[in-house]
Amino acid sequence: MQTQPAGGLHGEMSKLYDVFVDWPGRLGREMPGVEALLASVGARKVLDAGCGTGRHVQALLERGFDAHGADVSDEMLANAAALLGGRERLHAWRLGEAPPSSVTTRAPFDAVLSMGNVWPQLADSGAAENAARAFLELLRPEGRLLLGLKALAVRRESGQPYMPLLKRRHDGRALWFVRFVDFDVPQPRAGELLADLHMAIVTGEAGATPQALHHGATRVRAWAPQELRGFFERAGFADVRVHARLEDRDSPPAGEDVYLSAVRPPR
């Protein structure tokens, strides 16, 4: 099993990330809701924190936003730079640490996004508090925060460790993306549930040599939906909602896939 050298996605996982995501389908589902939430605060300048391969940054640029992305992984940033045609709008930032000057000099942002389960990767509560504080400081008053994540505490209650299996054909072979969650890990702080999120990519068909191209585990925080709301209220955000559907801030959480939207309070 590979350990993640410096946090974030690396190696085969970084190379094959976009193979496993159905980007047209995903952006088709997400962007109308994202745009509506950005429009509700008149946003133009947007930071995507944990931007990965840069697809949301590209989608935002295409829709006329002044979009930037930040990520801890140089490899994911390199993918994003290839997509966007340069690194001008991309910044190396490990959430949980202070944002770099390339980000702070562009602040204030009208909105900060962090989609695709980045937030639980701040497993340490100090890192999560630092990241929430940084989001608040980077936003203008009444600016919008939007997170998309898996509230994995819901999965522990369901007792089902496996996430949906994905199969893709790529470079003439079948690739399987296997994800599961292990809650049997040390729990250093009462009231904060941690888990290991395992991600593996395997290939192989009957008669061919099977191969694991990647297996890595990331320690994550398994948030409960109601816990997220309290955390961001204590961090100083206003109008904090945790909702099931991106386009409906009143939709109650109905599973592990949730969105958190909030605003920086007016001065």
**Dihedral sign (CA 118, 122, 125, 128):** negative
Name which of residues 237 to 256 contact ligand SAM (CB under 6 A): none
Between 28 and 205, CB nearer to ligand SAM? 28
Name the segment binding ligand SAM (CB under 6 A); options: 92-100, 168-176, 224-232, 233-241.
Answer: 92-100
114-128: string of b/e by CB count within 10 Å (b at 16+)? bbbbbbbbbbeeebb
Query: At its nearest, how many Å lie between ligand SAM and the CB of residue 136?
Result: 17
Name which of residues 100 to 119 contact ligand SAM (CB under 6 A): 115-118
Distance between CA atoms of 126 and 191, rounded to whole angstroms?
A: 14
| Residue 22 tokens, joined | 């159905």
Query: At its nearest, how many Å lie between ligand SAM and the CB of residue 44?
Result: 20
Name which of residues 50 to 89 contact ligand SAM (CB under 6 A): 50-52, 71-73, 76
Distance between CA atoms of 55 and 59, rounded to whole angstroms?
A: 6
Query: At its nearest, how many Å lie between ligand SAM and the CB of residue 61?
Result: 15
Query: At its nearest, how many Å lie between ligand SAM and the CB of residue 121?
Result: 4
Q: How many other C-beta atoms can be found within 10 angstroms of the C-beta atom of residue 17?
A: 19
Q: Is 2 left (phi over 0), alpha (psi -120 to 50) or beta?
A: beta
Q: How many other C-beta atoms can be found within 10 angstroms of the C-beta atom of residue 66?
A: 15
Number of residues that bind ligand SAM (CB under 6 A): 20
CB 93 within 8 A of CB 104: no
Between 42 and 97, CB nearer to ligand SAM? 97
- Provide the mask over 119-158, with x wherever binding to ligand SAM is found by CB under 6 A and - wherever it is not: --xx------------------------------------
Query: At its nearest, how many Å lie between ligand SAM and the CB of residue 130?
Result: 10
- Provide the mask over 12-51, with x wherever binding to ligand SAM is found by CB under 6 A and - wherever it is not: --------------------------------------xx
- Asked if 9 is part of the footprint of ligand SAM (rule: CB under 6 A), the reply reads yes
The pairing of beta strand 211-221 with beta strand 238-243: unpaired
Residue nearest to ligand SAM (CB): 116
Burial of 172 (C-beta count, 10 Å sphere; 0-12/13-18/19+): exposed
Q: How far is CA 108 from the centre of its chain?
A: 21
Between 130 and 203, CB nearer to ligand SAM? 130
Q: Which residues bind ligand SAM (CB under 6 A)?
A: 7-9, 50-52, 71-73, 76, 93-96, 115-118, 121-122
